[in-house]
């Protein structure tokens, strides 16, 4: 597949990540997400109101961060990545790998396999364009 295909893949992925983050911010009390997380920490018990308030805040921060993260990916994909600027490839690669290793480590340590699986899927989606275009980037002009 062509460089343009993978560049568009990365751009669309960033946009989808942002839209998903916005939808989650607007639906913070979603039992769908909590149904995967809560049993790990509270078993069959229903978390108390303080825990629910904390979850609403921390998930809001998480999803809002994801919105920004998606915008960064889309912006980099739309401009410097499209121009094949090597720094953009390296920035995405290092950023995604750093996030993936740390987030997945802490998720597995806390027995939140659901998040580790989601991380892996997302990392693959974002890193595929990097993998398939890695050698297509030009050296920066050094002045």
Domains in the chain: boundaries: 3-136
Residue 49 confidence class, pLDDT cut points 50, 70, 90: very high
Q: What does DSSP assign to residue 48?
A: -
pLDDT digits (tens, 9 = 90+) for 118-138: 999 999 999 999 999 999 997
Residue 33 confidence class, pLDDT cut points 50, 70, 90: confident
Q: How far apart are CA 41 and CA 112, in angstroms?
A: 9
Residue 34 confidence class, pLDDT cut points 50, 70, 90: confident
Q: How far apart are CA 14 and CA 70, in angstroms?
A: 4
Q: Which two tokens stand for residue 92?
A: 């995405």
| pLDDT exceeds 80 at position 56 | yes
Q: How far apart are CA 89 and CA 93, in angstroms?
A: 6
């Amino acid at each position: 597949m062509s460089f343009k295909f993978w560049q568009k893949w990365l751009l669309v992925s960033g946009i989808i990540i942002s839209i998903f983050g916005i939808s989650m911010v607007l639906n913070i009390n979603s039992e769908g997400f909590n149904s995967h997380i809560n049993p790990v920490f509270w078993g069959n018990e229903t978390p108390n109101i303080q825990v629910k308030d904390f979850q609403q805040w921390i998930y809001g921060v998480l999803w809002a961060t994801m919105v920004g993260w998606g915008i960064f990916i889309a912006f980099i994909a739309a401009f410097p990545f499209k121009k094949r600027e090597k720094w953009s490839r390296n920035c995405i690669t290092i950023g995604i790998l750093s996030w993936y290793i740390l987030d997945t480590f802490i998720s597995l340590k806390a027995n939140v396999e659901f998040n580790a699986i989601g991380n892996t899927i997302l990392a693959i989606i974002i890193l595929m364009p990097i993998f398939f275009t890695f050698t297509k980037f030009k050296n920066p002009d050094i002045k």
